[in-house]
Amino acid sequence: MRSQQAAWAGSPTGASGYRGGRRAILALAWALVWIGLVIPGVAPAASGSAKADAGPWNPELEEHVREIASGLRCVVCQNLSVADSPSDLAKEMRNLVRELVQQGKSREEIQAYFVSRYGEFVLLSPPKRGFNLLVWGLPFVAILAGAWGVYLVARRWTLRREEAEPAVDPVYAERVRRDLQEREGPVGS
Amino acid sequence: MSWKKALIPLASVPLIILLAYGFRTDPKAIPSPLVRQPAPGFRMAVYDAGELSLETLKGKPVVLNFWASWCYPACYEEAPLLESTWRKYEAQGLMVVGVDIQDKEANAREFMRRFDFTFPNGPDPGSKISIDYGVYGVPETFFIDRQGRITHKHVGALTPALMEAQVQAILKGN
């Protein structure tokens, strides 16, 4: 009922409202024509650069892309990530990462895609499972084994020195004592 | 020799095995997870010949070669072999397709003219196809059977013996 009243009450002003609406539509149409006539010179360039840079600069997006790309190995470099490599292929891979992020793909999905194409080699940090656990565990095992080896060697050296100290030849000691006695005379004289 | 003294040479055995394995493998060779998997589909603009998609080649054995005009000497060495294989087996249904990567069009056309390429070749803008095939250098060649599965990937210049063996395999549908 209320809405009916509003509709009816609105009808006289509705005519002026309609005229106002027509003016607004005309203004909008003019604006669109202007955009179509004046902006085209800019629009293709803008869209071209947008294509090349995959959209306007978005620091958050770029940070996210960099974060994902820094975990991917540049496949034509030695120990460089896709984020850091200046190679053309790494650049294309970064662009692809950006595209996939813009499509709403998660970090895991993007990593899985690259792994499905290049194998786990493409990951700078091998996943902590299966045979890869050796890669993660062996350095710690090596450090412990090395520390144990150093301890054993140090202990052996210490023991040798302790054994070596009392081992004074008794003949030599007796000769030293006799020589000293001869030089200084009998003790107590 | 006490067992403690024997430990030192024994401890070096795994290290020697590891080194022997390391020196025998090529650190630059990346085993492809795509072998024995369905070949990723692609659509490519072919130089002077419209468009080509892998979908339209279904049922045909395909030799998919990634090359570039700047890839010297490997791409130059294998180029005549690609063309001769195409001419030899085209009647038997074999398709040879070239994907030109990270190249300048004029240089690519000069390369195709130099080797009289008659099989379809096209550029790969954005390296989309290359990345989808896990390509990390040129030349790389994929052999795809009639079922659309990758049977073999070869990195580096093709040799006549390898080409013949792989083409026969995909022609037979093995």
The phi-psi region of residue B173 (left if phi > 0; otherwise alpha if psi is between -120 and 50; otherwise beta) is left
pLDDT at A35: 43
**How distant is the Cα of A182 from the closest Cα of chain B, in angstroms?**
50
Q: Cα–Cα distance between A56 and B49 in angstroms, integer?
A: 35
Does residue A43 carry a pLDDT above 50? no
Residue A68: pLDDT band with limits 50, 70, 90 = very high
Close Cβ partners of A169 (under 8 Å, ≥ 6 residues apart): none
Cβ–Cβ contact B12 with A under 8 A? no
pLDDT at B15: 86
Residue B31 with chain A: CB contacts under 8 Å: 119, 121
Q: Which of A75, A115, A116 sits opposite B136 (nearest CB)?
A: A75
Question: Has residue A74 been placed in a domain?
Answer: yes
Q: Which domain holds residue A149?
A: 132-184
Does residue A16 carry a pLDDT above 70? no
Alpha-carbon dihedral of residues A39, A43, A44, A47, nearest 10 degrees?
180
Domain termination residue (choose one: A70, A96, A122): A122
Domain match, A117 and A136 both? no
Structure confidence by residue, pLDDT tens digits, B16-64: 998 898 888 776 777 899 999 999 999 999 998 899 999 999 999 999 9
Please name the residues between 123 and 182 in chain A that touch chain B, using a CB distance below 8 Å: none
Domain match, A118 and A143 both? no
Question: Has residue A60 been placed in a domain?
Answer: yes
- Mean pLDDT, range A64-86, rounded to an integer: 93
Cβ–Cβ contact B121 with A under 8 A? no
Q: Cα–Cα distance between A102 and A60 in angstroms, integer?
A: 12
Angle at CA B74, nearest 5°, toward B109 and A119? Answer: 100
Find the largest Cα–Cα distance for chain A.
Answer: 147
Question: Has residue A127 been placed in a domain?
Answer: no
Domain match, A139 and A113 both? no
Structure confidence by residue, pLDDT tens digits, B79-88: 999 999 999 9
pTM (two decimals): 0.69
Domain match, A68 and A103 both? yes
Domain match, A60 and A111 both? yes
Provide the pairing of β-strand B140-144 with B150-155.
Answer: antiparallel
Domain match, A57 and A20 both? no
Domain match, A81 and A118 both? yes
Does residue B149 carry a pLDDT above 80? yes
Q: Which of B33, B102, B128 sits opposite A116 (nearest CB)?
A: B33
Please name the residues between 16 and 75 in chain A that touch chain B, using a CB distance below 8 Å: 75
Query: How many domains does chain A contain in total?
Result: 3
Residue A187: pLDDT band with limits 50, 70, 90 = low
- Mean pLDDT, range A83-92, rounded to an integer: 95
**Is the Cβ–Cβ distance between B151 and B119 less than 8 Å?**
no
Does residue A3 carry a pLDDT above 70? no
Domains of chain B in start order, with CATH, are 33-172 (3.40.30.10)
Question: Has residue A89 been placed in a domain?
Answer: yes
Domain match, A31 and A63 both? no
Return the residue of B nearest to A89 by Cα: B127
Question: Has residue A47 been placed in a domain?
Answer: no
Structure confidence by residue, pLDDT tens digits, A97-129: 999 999 999 999 999 999 999 999 999 988 888
Residue A116 with chain B: CB contacts under 8 Å: 33-34
Domain match, A64 and A32 both? no
Provide the pairing of β-strand B95-100 with B121-123.
Answer: parallel
Structure confidence by residue, pLDDT tens digits, B116-141: 999 999 999 999 999 999 999 999 99
Domain termination residue (choose one: A92, A122, A152): A122
Does residue A46 carry a pLDDT above 50? no
> Which range among A86-90, A170-174, B81-85, B168-172 shows the weakest confidence by mean pLDDT?
A170-174
Closest CA to B132 of B155, B108, B109, B99: B99
Q: Cα–Cα distance between A119 and A189 in angstroms, integer?
A: 95
Return the residue of B nearest to A73 by Cα: B136
* Range B77-84, long-range pairs (CB < 8 A, 24+ positions): B77/B157, B78/B139, B78/B141, B78/B157, B78/B158, B79/B111, B79/B114, B79/B115, B79/B117, B80/B115, B81/B158, B81/B159, B81/B160, B81/B163, B82/B115, B82/B117, B82/B119, B82/B158, B83/B115, B83/B116, B83/B117, B83/B118, B83/B119
Q: How does the average pLDDT of chain A come out, rounded?
A: 74
**How distant is the Cα of B88 from the closest Cα of chain A, in angstroms?**
31
Q: Is B69 exposed, middle or buried (0-12, 13-18, 19+ CB in 10 A)?
A: buried
Compute the count of residue pairs across chains A and B with CB atoms less than 8 Å apart: 44
Residue B127 with chain A: CB contacts under 8 Å: 88-89, 92-93
Question: Has residue A109 been placed in a domain?
Answer: yes
- Higher pLDDT: A32 or B78? It is B78
Domain match, A35 and A90 both? no
Q: What are phi and psi of B100, to 5 degrees?
A: -95, 120
Amino acid at B140: E
Structure confidence by residue, pLDDT tens digits, B91-115: 999 999 999 999 999 999 999 999 9
| ipTM score of complex | 0.86
Domain termination residue (choose one: A122, A142, A169): A122
Q: Do A119 and B133 touch (CB under 8 A)?
A: no
Residue A172: pLDDT band with limits 50, 70, 90 = confident
- Higher pLDDT: A103 or A49? It is A103
Residue A75 with chain B: CB contacts under 8 Å: 30, 136
Residue A153: pLDDT band with limits 50, 70, 90 = very high
Does residue A51 carry a pLDDT above 50? no
Q: Cα–Cα distance between A183 and B92 in angstroms, integer?
A: 114
**How distant is the Cα of A18 from the closest Cα of chain B, in angstroms?**
51
Of the residues A77, A111, A117, the best mutation for testing chain B's interface (the one with the most B CB atoms within 10 Å of its CB) is A117
pLDDT at A160: 81
Return the residue of B nearest to A54 by Cα: B126
Cβ–Cβ contact B156 with A under 8 A? no
DSSP string, chain B: --HHHHHHHHHHHHHHHHHHHHHHS-TT----TTTTSBPPP-EEEPTTS-EEEGGGGTTS-EEEEEE-TT-TTHHHHHHHHHHHHHHHHGGGT-EEEEEE-S--HHHHHHHHHHTT--S-EEE-GGGHHHHHTT--SSSEEEEE-TTSBEEEEEES---HHHHHHHHHHHHHT-
Domain match, A72 and A105 both? yes
Question: Has residue A48 been placed in a domain?
Answer: no
Question: Has residue A101 been placed in a domain?
Answer: yes
Cβ–Cβ contact A92 with B under 8 A? yes
Of the residues A72, A75, A82, the best mutation for testing chain B's interface (the one with the most B CB atoms within 10 Å of its CB) is A75
| CATH number for the domain that contains residue A108 | 1.10.8.640
